[in-house]
Amino acid sequence: MTIRKRLILSYIAMVLIPVILFMAVTLAVIGLFFGDWNGDLKPDNHFGHDNMRMIGETMGNREQLFSNVKYLANYEPDLLADESYLLETDEAFNGLEAGLVVARDDGILYASPLVEGPGLYEQLANYKPGWNAKINDRFTVEKHDFAFGDQSAGTIYLLSDMTPLIDRMQQLFPILFLSLLLIIGLTNGLLTYLVSKSIIKPLRLLKTAAEQIKEGNLDQALALGRKDEFGKVGEAFEEMRERLRESIRLQLQYEENRKELISNISHDLKTPITGIKACIEGLRDGIADTEKKRDKYMEMIDKKTGDMDRLIDELFLFSKLDLKRLPFHFERIDIAAYMEDCARELGIDPHMKDAAFRFIYDGPRPLYVMADLEKLQRVMMNIVNNSVKYMPGEDKRVELSLLRGAEEATVSIRDYGPGIEKEALPHIFDRFYRADQSRNSATGGSGLGLAIVKQIVEAHGGRTWADSAPGLGTTISFTLPMAEKAGGESE
């Protein structure tokens, strides 16, 4: 549930709950106040409903009887001067906790014994209706003026004994008012606590997580487990934490790679420099005292400088690839025709005279891909040189194969060399990695060939991988994206 819906429901509850509770409290309090009306407390009188009904019936009967008297005063006024009628009527009023007073001119003609008292007429004459206005501190008054048959002025007063009811009502209203205030306060306080708790708790968790990040602890996960706005904030916060952790991990990895790179470059450059230095010292000290020896030393110097030159070129190329500063010129080429030409040219290359190359592809032609021809040539030569270099003997076989996919073409180059150990296979595309941990460069490798292959293929939008087993040879594969037709479909 969203915070907005939760707040709306809490506002509705702040209105409905107090109303319902106040109604229940009102019924309960009325039952307590009026359940023993006239001393009649009934065990089955639920919340005083029967007694309240009795009060209503009494007041209704009283009003009905007084209406009859007023009607009689209007049409047979002289009957109100009949003492027997007044006694009979007053007796009926007395049964309803009321008394009748009849005044004629400036004096009282009849006064009920229930209400009779000193100064009664003066009190009636000065009576002004109001909530607290009572006669003899007991009776409320209802008045009706009429004229007797001789046209003398007459007035009927109905004095109702409302003292118990009024007293209880005066006690009831403050209690109900205080109950209403208490219900509103408790309801709003409880709902405010619950709503604020649902907001404050995730805020505290977010604050704790932020402090952990500030202290450098990026391993503590934030799990709010909510579906509202805080849940979305928590998901974004958790994603930020994961990215920060990954960023720091990459920075540390880059730093470690930089240190390793410097160490590897230092080692690989020092090896030929040491050889060149030894040759020069041999020439200078006269160790090469014959023309044949001097030629041998010069060949060694030439080979070492060539190795250094190739290493520096490959290092420069790899650095440009790693920094994304090497431009690519992609074009639409028929990879099947290219691979076929490549296998033919490698077969007649003097440097590959000990190797036999074969191209395998039985799919439809042409098969177009998007590639940079110069960079693709570098990929092919690096893989082929790496394959031929590690195959023993003079009977070396290399197979170039092609497989068409839905969105990409897969190029595979297989040799029948000694293969690569399972532990070393995941690392062969790492820079400066050699399965020979002694970093013996007798084979002429720089350790950057396959790393350059991976960088170039990934720049094409492809993938690289290797399959190998000791004694069964190695297959290095990479993919190239298919060229698109005019309609946008892969070709």
- Structural domain includes residue 336: yes
In this structure, the answer to whether residues 315 and 336 fall within a common structural domain is: no
State the average pLDDT for the chain: 80
Domain count, the chain: 3
- The conformation of residue 483, written as its DSSP 8-state character, comes to P
For residue range 404-419, what is the model confidence (pLDDT) as tens digits?
988 999 999 999 888 8
**The domain boundary residue, chosen from 293, 319, 345:** 319
The pLDDT of residue 359: 94
153 shares a domain with 85: yes
Question: Would you say residue 439 lies in a domain?
Answer: yes
Residue 194 covered by a domain? no
Name the band, by pLDDT with cuts 50, 70 and 90, for residue 53: low
Task: Name the 3-class secondary structure at 157.
Answer: strand
The pLDDT score that the predictor gives to residue 35 is 57
Sequence-distant (6+) residues with CB within 8 A of 310 are 444, 446
What per-residue confidence (pLDDT) applies to 342? 93
What are residue 403's DSSP bridge partners?
A: 410
User: In the predicted model, is pLDDT for residue 488 greater than 70?
Assistant: no
Of residues 216 and 70, more confidence is placed in 70
Per-residue pLDDT tens over the stretch 3-25:
677 777 777 887 888 888 888 88
**Whole-number pLDDT of residue 164:** 62
pLDDT of residue 386 exceeding 50, the answer is yes
Instruction: Give me the pLDDT at residue 51, please.
Output: 57
The answer to whether residues 315 and 424 belong to one domain is: no
Phi, then psi, of 101 in degrees rounded to 5: -130, 130
Q: What is the per-residue pLDDT across 394-405, written as a single tens digit (0 to 9) for each?
A: 778 899 999 998
What does the pLDDT look like over 275-322, one tens digit per residue? Answer: 888 888 888 888 877 888 888 888 888 888 887 887 788 778 777 877
Amino acid at 362: D
Confidence at residue 466, expressed as pLDDT on a 0 to 100 scale: 93
Residue showing tokens 């920060």: 244
Domain final residue pick, 303, 319, 335? 319
| Residue 339 pLDDT | 93
CA 268 to CA 164: how far, in whole Å? Answer: 113
More confident call, 311 vs 488: 311
Report the alpha-carbon distance of residue 385 to residue 391 in Å, rounded. 10
Q: What percent of the chain stands above pLDDT 90?
A: 16
402 shares a domain with 260: no
Q: What is the pLDDT of residues 164-187, one digit of tens each?
A: 666 666 677 788 888 888 888 888
Q: Does the pLDDT of residue 131 top 60, yes or no?
A: no
At 2, the pLDDT band (50, 70, 90 cuts) reads low
Residue bearing the bigger pLDDT, 46 or 128: 128
**Res 40 pLDDT > 60:** no
366 prior amide bond cis, ω within 30: yes
CB within 8 Å of 360: residues ≥ 6 apart: 399, 400, 401, 402
CA distances in angstroms from 439 to 265, 267, 312, listed in the order given: 11, 9, 17
Mean pLDDT of the 420-429 span? 86
Q: 405, 458 in Cβ contact below 8 A?
A: no
What CATH number did the domain enclosing 264 receive? 1.10.287.130
Judge whether 421 lies within some domain. yes
Q: Rounded distance, CA 430 to CA 132, Å? A: 101
Same domain, yes or no: 432 and 466:
yes
Q: Residues 314, 337: one domain?
A: no
pLDDT for the residue numbered 38: 46
- pLDDT for 417 equals 86
CATH code (residue 396) = 3.30.565.10
Q: What's the pLDDT at 122?
A: 76
Same domain, 341 and 464: yes
**Range 279-304 burial, b when 16+ CB lie within 10 A, else e:** beebeeeeebeeeeeeeebeebbeeb
pLDDT for 39 equals 43
For residue 367, tell me if it sits in a domain. yes
**Is residue 41 a part of any domain in this protein?**
no
Residues 358 and 400 in one domain: yes
Top-confidence range, 112-116, 218-222, 461-465: 461-465
372 and 472 belong to one structural domain: yes
Instruction: Write down the residue that tokens 């209105």 correspond to.
Output: 15
Q: What is the pLDDT of residues 80-119, one digit of tens each?
A: 888 888 888 888 888 888 888 888 887 888 888 887 777 7
Structure confidence at residue 168 (pLDDT): 65
Ranking 35-49, 144-158, 299-313, 340-354 by mean pLDDT, the lowest is 35-49
Which among 141, 161, 181 is the end of a domain? 161
Domain hosting residue 121, numbered range: 78-161
Same domain, 448 and 334: yes
**Please, are residues 127 and 141 in contact by the beta-carbon 8 Å criterion?**
yes
Give the confidence band of 45 by pLDDT, cuts at 50, 70, 90: very low
Q: How many whole angstroms separate alpha carbon 351 and alpha carbon 340?
A: 19
Q: Would you say residue 331 lies in a domain?
A: yes
Q: Is residue 200 part of a domain?
A: no
**Cβ distance 352 to 384 under 8 Å?**
yes
pLDDT, average across residues 257-261 = 72
Is 370 found in the same domain as 475?
A: yes
Highest-confidence segment of 244-253, 312-321, 458-467: 458-467
Asked if 278 and 420 sit in the same domain, the reply is: no
The pLDDT > 70 percentage for the chain reads 84
Range in 31-45, 248-262, 324-338 the model is least confident about: 31-45
Residue with the larger pLDDT of the pair 225 and 183: 183
